[in-house]
Chain A
Amino acid sequence: SYELTQPPSMSASPGQTARISCSGDRLPNQYAYWYQQKPGQAPVLVIYKYTERPSGIPERFSGSKSGTTVTLTISGVRAEDEADYYCQSTDRSGSVVFGGGTKLTVL
């Protein structure tokens, strides 16, 4: 089955840039999406179609793609950005697949 691979955890200090990667061999051809989930809350879409930002999402969140890897970049990390982040795409059959998630700790 198709898998999206993310690092389990990472950390950043306030004001730094955090980059969370997600790799999968179909990512060059299938859109990637990113979600933020804070404890006890439902996930929130922060990036869609690789690079687009929904209304209401701060400009410090951005997305990029290079080959089979997509990256969520948080510029000028804030304490409130501490959360789990998940990438998502679709497999060959058109089913939705999530990455395992990355826990971002703001030091």
Chain B
Amino acid sequence: EPEVTQTPSHQVTQMGQEVILRCVPISNHLYFYWYRQILGQKVEFLVSFYNNEISEKSEIFDDQFSVERPDGSNFTLKIRSTKLEDSAMYFCASQDSNQPQHFGDGTRLSIL
């Protein structure tokens, strides 16, 4: 069965550094999402992406965050200047029309 693939599985970064989280959505899916989950807390929506542009973003998704689909297969989340509170699991999800969202295994981001 097709899967959403995320890399790396664990990223450790110094505060203030830039980090890029990578996702390969399921082929032919149209909608792409990033969510995050701080340890012990809810899964929170960050951003959705459709037709090569952001369709919705949350209050969390401020100017430090950006997303890109550079080559038609990868979907990336960039955090420009990381903060301690950015430490979380980051999940990518993709969706086909009228089907539920499927999640990748996540990237654990640890900011030191």
Are A and B associated in one complex?
no
| Chain B interface (Cβ < 8 Å from any Cβ of A) | none
